[in-house]
Amino acid sequence: MVHFDRNYRFLQFHFTIMAKLQKNFIPIQLILWLLFAGLILSIGYFTERTDFYFFISQYLAAFFIFYLIWLKLGQYNFKSILFGVIILRLLLIFALPELSNDFYRFIWDGEIMTKGINPFAYTPNELISHIGFMDSAYMRELYHGMGELSQRHYSCYPVLNQFLFLIPTLFTDSVVTNVILLKIIVILADIGAVFFALKIAKILKIETNKIWLYFLNPFIILEFSGNLHFEGVMIFFLLGAVYFVLKQNWWMGGVMLGLAIQVKLIPLMLLPFFFKKLGFKNSVGFTAMTLFVTLAIGAILLNESYMANMLASINEYFVSFEFNASVFYIIREIGFQTHGYDTVRTVGPFLSKMAAVLILLLAVFRAYRNDLDLLKGIMFAFLIYYTFATTVHPWYIALILIFSVFTTYKFGLVWSLVAMLSYFAYGNADFNESPILLIAEYVLVFGVLAFEIYKYWDKEAIGLQLKTFFKQ
């Protein structure tokens, strides 16, 4: 009851401010921008992750205001909107991430590289036994801050990402300063992504204001500029790869995709989606360039042993980690009923293989010579991947959201609204998830998706493709 009283007073205060500003003839759009900025500041600086109800009420209010702002963006020019997008990100530059402790591991990996230690050679637990290694209060803060899960695993972040972690640690031994410098990298990548998204929108001849459904979204602002996730950097390179492929510049497309893979490995699965667009000859060059960039950067830090260490940590996402899943949680519940224990170690790898097969079939049997179809294919590939994943952290949905804004599909936008319900787990000591909120999240997302597939898919074209397939 205390939570609801607090949330009611908070919202009542904001609407009182809105009424007073309106009375003094301040334009409603300015009021909305100020309220939006105020909510971003409040979540970033004054909301603890354990206070779920306070957090989610502010987030829902911020999302509602964001959408009201987006509906009226036609009255602004591009530079004005970009200015607002940058300012909203800079508001969070001094805030330590509250909804994720991954940043401690980022800084740890960068810091041990300054000491000449390969981040793939040892787990943090192995390093603390080194004489004098933990004498520094700074290193102890990083070690304890990353949490037990990260302490016992090798780093899972690819080599280019490791060098991004290294940059701030060359200049400072302060956690706060490191966070600020890492956020600057993420914000710069976000700004770069704006320009690639704008170019892609112009190629597709779609309304350019649609890209702000991603860049102005409080979900993206809070998860990247606030919680410091490097998916934002990966998306910058991935959009660059898509743009150059659409322009038939296969070698630059390959370079950008290789860089994206070296931030997060997941774009590697997208290679087959570009082949039909590029044609056979260019596809060979594109693939060769992508693999060359990926392997050349990887070779700087990875040998056979270190690669095995990194892949072992990545494998844990399929055999040990469980969070905010959909299909897996249904199968897991069946496993509890039939076997009496959690079947994640067998079911997780099986689901990942099933996702890989479905993604490959999607790439092979759908024609992606059309520019828009290429982006739809990538969007659905990520959807398949995360539908069968055992772990779906909210910020993963950014990959679906960014490609959905170029299409008529809105389920990605809906997911960016309800994904934050998963943070309920931080509101209790055992990090238990809420089955009711999980059901609400996925019923809404897959319900909207099913409606949109029925509404938008060309049923005649699908029927023709099926007839052709079966005749063969």
Q: What is the pLDDT of residues 371-415, one digit of tens each?
A: 999 999 999 999 999 999 999 999 999 999 999 999 999 999 999
Distance of alpha carbon 208 from alpha carbon 206, whole angstroms: 6
Mean pLDDT of 327-331: 94
- Does 237 fall in a domain? yes
Residue 131: pLDDT band with limits 50, 70, 90: low
Is pLDDT of 450 > 80?
Answer: yes
Distance of alpha carbon 106 from alpha carbon 169, whole angstroms: 10
Listed in sequence order, the residues at least 6 apart from 169 whose beta carbon sits closer than 8 Å to its beta carbon are 107, 110, 111, 113, 114, 178
pLDDT for the residue numbered 25: 44
pLDDT for the residue numbered 472: 47
- Quick one: tokens of 118? 């390969």
- Does 83 fall in a domain? no
Say whether both 68 and 134 belong to one domain.
no
Could you tell me if 456 and 408 are in contact, meaning their C-beta atoms sit under 8 angstroms apart?
yes
Say whether both 328 and 468 belong to one domain.
yes
pLDDT for the residue numbered 14: 57
Q: In Å, how far from its chain's centre is CA 4?
A: 30
Q: Tell me the pLDDT of the chain averaged across its residues.
A: 90
- Does 90 fall in a domain? no
Range of 62's domain?
1-75
pLDDT for the residue numbered 458: 59
- The label of the residue with tokens 């700004």 reads 191
Say whether both 371 and 429 belong to one domain.
yes
Say whether both 52 and 62 belong to one domain.
yes
pLDDT for the residue numbered 318: 79
- Does 85 fall in a domain? no
Helices (runs of H) and strands (runs of E) counted in the chain: 23, 0
Residue 338: pLDDT band with limits 50, 70, 90: confident
pLDDT, tens digit, for every residue of 73-102?
988 899 999 999 999 999 999 999 988 999
pLDDT for the residue numbered 130: 75
Name the domain boundary from 253, 285, 320: 320
pLDDT, tens digit, for every residue of 135-192?
889 999 999 999 998 999 999 999 999 999 999 999 999 999 999 999 999 999 999 9
| Number of structural domains found in the chain | 3
Say whether both 180 and 261 belong to one domain.
yes
Name the domain boundary from 262, 291, 320: 320
Say whether both 252 and 130 belong to one domain.
yes
CA angle 127, 132, 136 (to 5 degrees): 90
Say whether both 312 and 338 belong to one domain.
no
pLDDT for the residue numbered 396: 97
pLDDT for the residue numbered 20: 54
Mean pLDDT of 199-218: 97
Say whether both 69 and 108 belong to one domain.
no
Distance of alpha carbon 269 from alpha carbon 276, whole angstroms: 15
* Nearest alpha carbon to residue 244 among 295, 217, 278: 278
Mean pLDDT of 428-445: 93
Say whether both 195 and 313 belong to one domain.
yes
Name the domain boundary from 301, 320, 339: 320
- Does 81 fall in a domain? no
- Does 82 fall in a domain? no
- Does 86 fall in a domain? no
Distance of alpha carbon 120 from alpha carbon 142, whole angstroms: 17
